[in-house]
Amino acid sequence: MNAKALIFFFAFFIFIVGCDKNDYNSPESETIQKANIIGTWESLSEKYELFDARGKLIDSDIINYTAAEEKQTYVFKADKTGSLRSLEDGEWTTENFNYSVAGKILTILFKGGDEGMSFEFEMEFEYLIKNNKLYLIFEGESDEDGIERATLELIKK
């Protein structure tokens, strides 16, 4: 085997072995993901997908948020608290929450109430941070014995 072929083979082998590693599941990557969620995120789009019981996509829709009044703003702080700012019935509202991160799962807990009425609402998402964007993915059962998936795409401000 000539030297050029040997060098090519060795370089190709190193490339394949290096690409085989799943960095997302490493402890260092999880720490980076947790640290990267801290900040202010503005919604860009929502994608809805409906799958039948066999996993076949049967319907989908994408909503792009372009106008300021359509956008939601999530703020995640280092102390595991945060807020969600959105327009409801023509008025801007802010809801505070607590959050936790475990692996690829982000859990947001809203608590509130007034005049003796209180509520607690928990949302659990699979999340991914890639190219300065945060993706919150929610999956649940649909009425048609399938799966519904909603993906919220946010950009870091």
Per the structure, how many domains does the chain have? 1
Residue 27 placed within a domain: no
Q: Which domain holds residue 142?
A: 37-156
Residue 119 confidence (pLDDT): 81
Residue 64 placed within a domain: yes
Residue 22 placed within a domain: no
Structure tokens at 123: 């949302």
DSSP assignments along 13-68, one per residue:
HHHHHHHT--GGGSHHHHHHHHHHT-EEEEEEEEEEEEE-TTS-EEEEEEEE--SG
Residue 33 confidence (pLDDT): 59
Structure tokens at 46: 């929502």
Residue 143 confidence (pLDDT): 77
Residue 69 confidence (pLDDT): 85
Residue 18 placed within a domain: no
Residue 70 placed within a domain: yes
- By C-alpha distance, which of 147, 146, 136, 140 is closest to 47? 136
Residue with tokens 């048609």: 144
Structure tokens at 86: 């959105």
Residue 19 placed within a domain: no
- By C-alpha distance, which of 109, 91, 114, 85 is closest to 99? 109
CATH code for position 113: 2.40.128.280
State how far Cα 6 lies from the chain centre. Answer: 44
- Model confidence pTM above 0.75: no
Average pLDDT of the chain, as a whole number = 81
Residue 34 confidence (pLDDT): 59
CA distance 81 to 110: 10
CA distance 14 to 6: 12
Structure tokens at 45: 């789009």
At position 157, the amino acid (one-letter code) is K
Residue 79 placed within a domain: yes
Residue 21 placed within a domain: no
| Below-50 pLDDT ranges, the chain | 1-28
